[in-house]
Amino acid sequence: MIQEGFSKFFWGFLFILFDFRIQGVDVAPDVIGYILFMVGFKALAEHSVHFVKAKPYNIAMMIVSILSIYEQPAPTQVSGIHVDPLGLVIGFVSFVLILLVVYHLFMGIQDMASKQQRFDIKQEAAQKWSYFLVFQIATLLLFVLIFIPPLFIVAVIGLIIAMIVLMVVLMRFMSKCGRELQREGL
């Protein structure tokens, strides 16, 4: 069960962090990632209360992420900055919910690692949480840079690279947790 739970987190991060749109449609919908997270939380619920605490936030995030499967592309004829008030509200709610979901995920890993006296994994989980938090704050700060186009372009390129690196780092960590906490949990 442990390996299966972390496998779901592995694939869940791929869907949640990979954001590529064609004609406004997300080709890897986040809702699939949150469904995978839900299965992972269910599989690991007996190992930490944090996996149980993450469930309601994850369900809310599943609902919110359905609203973002399709986002109408900004009109190309209009000059200036296009602001969608509903999109801003959805974005803010998503920001808070994803932080809560991922926080409880990493705190659950820390609980599991502590119980198995795997302090290396516990410390690594805290580190990965801080990476995720910094990335999310950096994406939020991107909205400030929209008013400085040259910096905005550089920041977007940097964030795309950071997103790919973070995705790989988190997926590798989930794989490691599945192997090493499974071994100890037997």
Question: Domain limits at 136?
Answer: 2-73+80-185
Cβ count within 10 A of residue 47 = 20
Summarised one tens digit per residue, pLDDT across range 9-64 is 999 999 999 888 888 787 889 999 999 999 999 999 999 999 999 999 999 999 99
Query: Element (H or E) spanning 68, and its range?
Result: none
Answer yes or no: pTM beyond 0.85. Answer: yes
Note the pLDDT of residue 88.
Answer: 82
The domain tally of the chain equals 1
**Number of H-type helices and E-type strands within the chain:** 6, 2
